[in-house]
């Protein structure tokens, strides 16, 4: 094998047209190095234990030879690069794999390698990241992408949080209601939200991880955090109150509050059926995941339900259990015995300590370090993942540009780098029980993959250092210098990492009765603004009213030079509160101000103008909060094209003429579903009002046809306040979910260019009633639309699927004419759902 066999150029990495090539190289855990001109000695993260640089280079066509050497650490390696070739020495495939990750970081843009001698081995056996797929769902490709990113940082554990109150993501063939009901939640305003991984998909993830020498540790939450289970199997809960899959108040942006839904989220410990279900599920889990450890949760158990349950109290009495903590210890002990009988070990959050630790359990210490210390002192293994500083759903900066995290904590890059997983309270013997460390990436407030990346990086780079490197005196400045070179690689791979910005406060707003009906804030900008993209952000600090912002302008010497018009809110929750301003070159000494049209929205019984806060400005180009507005793929769905035939063109001309005669307040764009609605006038009026809405539905259209229609006059000369787009167009289309997303994205971009002030509402695909599989699975498409389009200002997404399903999740066939198109009853149901969005 030669170096050039695995070479990957920065130009290729940056090209959006080589996504599949990129995926291949990521599977190989390849990574682009900075050019030699940028870094004569390539930066290495994590830093190897011993590096000796030598004179000379190995050309890109030079040979690489691997040798097995007994007696070396299992994941350790020796790498020697000389002008004649490179040699890897390791005792295992894992050691060789990590040597090759170092090779790829050493590689220059021309494929050459600097001559060097490296001796390296990790400090910890557990170097992990937890990804929460319950609160917000990631696609299989997104999960595999995370595995690739872990591998390039020499991390070897992927803790997969598959179940929680907000969704059950593991397909159980023994208990199908877990995914039929538990995988889905009714989430205002988007409707039905969720998804799950099939057993085949999870095996695919495990196989991908194995190639990267990563162990996937699955988590099935118990006995608490189980509302998604109890919604599906209510008899397993204490008492008679039925519950629902949990939801967030403000979805999906900044979801920082858990609402109260009926019932509790704890398995009844006195019901043998609870254990039958859990043991049945765990048996399926162990068939898919070969990991030694199975994570069983154990955190935040609401014991009030047990205290009021006769069955639970009977168990406590018969087994002489003093309190709920002892009952939990007994509960977890039963599960541990089951896992042990199958050759596995249980790991759980540190609350499993509270009633007495089960005999062989491993503790994951999240509430600080105390749990890990207690476990290690008692002779139990522990993994350190303290909330401070390793909860990566917390913000990593106090910058006003940073999107909201879960809770108010800030965990900076420097704090992560400074953390030592081995507490000083432990003796050398006790410290051997610290298996390692991991960060936890909860998805409560990180609903898209881009947002997850923004919260994880570059802190994950620091985590890789503390998990791999020996505990030598740390030099954060030196680490930052190495990190700068490493960020070039992340940039080339399209990773959306956080960059510190240069923000400042532009001014404040204070309580003002004029805000009841609307007023204009004028804030002088004292600091000079360079030309480029800037963001003005509104930050609520107090008062009974939220501030609603309708438009923000940048004014220079009395002239408006930049504007962003969309509705945003700064209150107890912030949404759309950032305004992008393209600042032109301003003359020196220009008098500059921010002008904002604002009003108040009462949320605590106010409405009198009682709101206060501050407005910040920062360079916007440094942060990508949402999916990049990059070039679209060149596919049918994004290529404007008319339909041949006079009938189609005749309807196109008639639509334009009709709207010129009577300009509509609402425009409805789509394919067959929209055009067929013309035959059901009553439900059309219910959905869109007596004033009427223009029907721009064309039977059989795909997205490219719609692009041609919009580009050829259908939105010209009108100013509707709202444009509704039915995604997917033709229900019989063969487009894939990604193609539907790209086409819908292209349509929304064109609408925004034609009608910048219009509100865009995207309606997801309707479910199919005939059971026929389609290339564009409705649930997958709707998830992509929610996570890729909805976060963008001025675009909302509604999933209509739940309106067409019975309580058990079954699609109601009586609402459809041919399995894909609604009948009169179906259109009435759809109209009622849409009427609630007006």
- Of these residues, 75, 96, 132, 164, which one is catalytic? 164
Nearest residue to 93 via CA among 214, 218, 217, 216? 214
- Of these residues, 153, 161, 213, 225, which one is catalytic? 225
The C-alpha atoms of residue 478 and residue 222 are separated, in whole angstroms, by 43
Nearest residue to 695 via CA among 739, 640, 654? 654
Exposed/middle/buried for residue 708 (C-beta within 10 Å: 0-12, 13-18, 19+):
middle
**Number of other CB atoms surrounding residue 563 within 10 Å:** 16
The C-alpha atoms of residue 599 and residue 725 are separated, in whole angstroms, by 29
Residues with Cβ within 8 Å of residue 153, at least 6 apart in sequence: 45, 46, 460, 461, 463, 464
Residue recorded with tokens 């410990």: 269
Has 110 been annotated as catalytic?
Answer: no
- DSSP-assigned letter for residue 444: S
Cα-based angle 784, 786, 792 (whole degrees, multiple of 5): 110
Nearest residue to 138 via CA among 219, 188, 194, 178? 194
Compute CA distances 706 → 658, 703, 713, 755, 776, whole Å: 18, 5, 11, 16, 18
Instruction: With beta carbons less than 8 A apart as the criterion, state whether 824 and 814 touch.
Output: no
The C-alpha atoms of residue 258 and residue 648 are separated, in whole angstroms, by 49
Q: In this structure, what token pair is assigned to residue 270?
A: 């006195």
Identify the bridge partners of residue 535 per DSSP, sorted by sequence position.
580, 618
- DSSP-assigned letter for residue 637: G
The C-alpha atoms of residue 552 and residue 529 are separated, in whole angstroms, by 16
Residue 192, φ and ψ in degrees, nearest 5: -75, 125
Has 148 been annotated as catalytic?
Answer: no
Q: In this structure, what token pair is assigned to residue 410?
A: 């800030």
Nearest residue to 412 via CA among 448, 458, 371? 458
Identify the bridge partners of residue 538 per DSSP, sorted by sequence position.
615
Compute CA distances 77 → 99, 212, 244, 437, whole Å: 6, 16, 51, 21
The C-alpha atoms of residue 403 and residue 496 are separated, in whole angstroms, by 13
Residues with Cβ within 8 Å of residue 750, at least 6 apart in sequence: 707, 710, 711
The C-alpha atoms of residue 824 and residue 816 are separated, in whole angstroms, by 8
Residues with Cβ within 8 Å of residue 108, at least 6 apart in sequence: 33, 35, 36, 42, 114
- Of these residues, 300, 311, 484, 622, which one is catalytic? 300
**Number of other CB atoms surrounding residue 763 within 10 Å:** 27
Nearest residue to 551 via CA among 762, 752, 793? 793
Has 225 been annotated as catalytic?
Answer: yes
**Number of other CB atoms surrounding residue 55 within 10 Å:** 7
> Which residues are designated catalytic?
164, 225, 300
């Amino acid at each position: 094998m030669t170096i050039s066999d695995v070479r990957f150029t920065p130009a290729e990495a940056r090209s959006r047209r080589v996504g599949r090539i990129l995926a291949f190289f990521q599977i190989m855990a390849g990574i682009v190095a900075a050019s030699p001109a940028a870094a004569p000695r390539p930066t290495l993260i994590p830093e190897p234990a011993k590096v000796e640089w030598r004179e000379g280079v190995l050309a890109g066509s030079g040979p690489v030879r691997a040798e097995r050497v007994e007696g070396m650490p299992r994941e350790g390696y020796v790498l020697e690069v000389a002008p004649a070739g490179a040699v890897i020495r390791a005792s295992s495939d894992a050691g060789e794999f990590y040597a090759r990750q170092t090779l790829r970081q050493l590689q220059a843009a021309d494929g050459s390698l600097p001559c060097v001698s490296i001796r390296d081995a990790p400090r910890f056996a557990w170097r992990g990241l937890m990804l929460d797929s319950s609160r917000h769902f990631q696609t299989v490709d997104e999960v595999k992408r995370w595995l690739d990113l872990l591998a390039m940082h020499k991390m070897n554990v992927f803790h997969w949080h598959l179940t929680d109150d907000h969704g059950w993501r593991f397909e159980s063939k023994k208990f199908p209601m877990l995914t039929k009901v538990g995988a889905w939640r009714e989430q205002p305003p988007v409707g039905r939200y969720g998804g799950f991984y099939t057993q085949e998909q999870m095996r695919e993830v495990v196989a991908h991880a194995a190639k990267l020498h990563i162990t996937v540790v699955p988590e099935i939450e118990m006995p608490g955090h189980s509302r998604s289970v109890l919604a599906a199997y209510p008899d397993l809960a204490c008492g008679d109150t039925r519950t629902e899959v949990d939801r967030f108040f403000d979805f999906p942006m900044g979801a920082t509050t858990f609402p109260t839904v009926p019932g509790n989220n704890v398995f009844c410990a006195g019901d043998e059926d609870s254990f039958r279900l859990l043991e049945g599920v765990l048996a399926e889990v162990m068939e898919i995941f070969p990991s030694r450890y199975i994570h069983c949760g154990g955190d935040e158990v609401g014991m009030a339900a047990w205290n009021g349950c006769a069955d639970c109290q009977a168990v406590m009495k018969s087994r002489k259990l003093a309190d709920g903590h002892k009952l939990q210890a007994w509960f977890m002990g039963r599960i541990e015995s089951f896992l042990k009988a199958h050759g596995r070990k249980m790991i759980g959050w540190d609350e499993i300590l509270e009633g007495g630790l089960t005999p062989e359990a491993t503790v994951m210490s999240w509430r600080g370090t105390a749990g890990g210390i207690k476990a290690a002192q008692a002779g139990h293994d522990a993994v350190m993942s303290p909330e401070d500083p390793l909860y990566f759903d917390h913000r990593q900066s106090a910058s006003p540009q940073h999107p909201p995290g879960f809770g108010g904590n800030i965990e900076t890059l420097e704090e992560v780098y400074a953390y030592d997983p081995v507490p000083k309270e432990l003796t050398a013997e006790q410290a051997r029980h610290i298996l390692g460390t991991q960060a936890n990436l909860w998805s409560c407030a990180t609903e898209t993959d881009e947002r997850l990346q923004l919260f994880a990086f570059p802190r994950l780079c620091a985590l890789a250092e503390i998990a791999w490197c020996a505990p030598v005196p740390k030099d954060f400045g030196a680490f930052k210098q190495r990190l700068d070179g490493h960020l070039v690689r992340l940039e080339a791979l399209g990773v959306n990492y956080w960059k510190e910005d240069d923000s400042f406060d532009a001014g404040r707003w204070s309580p003002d009765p004029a805000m009841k009906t609307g007023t204009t804030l004028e804030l002088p900008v004292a600091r000079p603004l360079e030309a480029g993209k800037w963001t003005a952000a509104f930050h609520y600090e107090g008062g009974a009213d939220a501030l609603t912002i309708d438009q923000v302008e940048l004014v220079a010497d009395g002239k408006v030079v930049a504007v962003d018009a969309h509705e945003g809110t700064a209150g107890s929750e912030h949404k759309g509160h950032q305004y992008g301003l393209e600042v032109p070159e301003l003359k020196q000494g220009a008098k500059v101000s921010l002008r904002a049209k604002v009003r108040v929205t009462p949320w605590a019984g106010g409405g009198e103008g009682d709101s206060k806060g501050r407005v910040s400005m920062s360079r916007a180009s440094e942060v990508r909060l949402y999916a990049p507005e990059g070039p679209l793929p060149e596919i049918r769905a994004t290529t404007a094209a008319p339909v041949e035939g006079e009938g189609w063109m005749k309807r196109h001309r008639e639509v334009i003429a009709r709207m010129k005669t009577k300009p509509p307040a609402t425009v409805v764009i789509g394919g067959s579903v929209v055009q067929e609605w013309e035959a059901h006038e009553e439900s059309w009026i219910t959905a869109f009002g007596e004033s009427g809405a223009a029907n721009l539905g064309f039977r059989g259209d795909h997205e490219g046809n719609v692009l041609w229609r919009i580009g050829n006059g259908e939105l010209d000369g009108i100013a509707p306040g709202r444009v509704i787009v039915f995604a997917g167009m033709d229900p019989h289309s063969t487009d894939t979910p990604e193609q539907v997303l790209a086409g819908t994205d292209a349509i929304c971009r064109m609408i925004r260019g034609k009608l910048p002030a219009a509100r865009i509402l995207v309606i997801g695909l309707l479910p199919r009633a005939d059971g026929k599989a389609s290339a564009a699975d409705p649930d997958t498409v709707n998830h992509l639309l929610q996570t890729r389009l909805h976060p963008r200002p001025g675009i909302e997404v509604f999933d209509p699927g739940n309106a067409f399903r019975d309580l058990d999740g079954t699609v109601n066939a009586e609402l459809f004419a041919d399995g894909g198109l609604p009948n009169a009853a179906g259109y009435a149901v759809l109209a009622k759902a849409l009427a609630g969005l007006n």
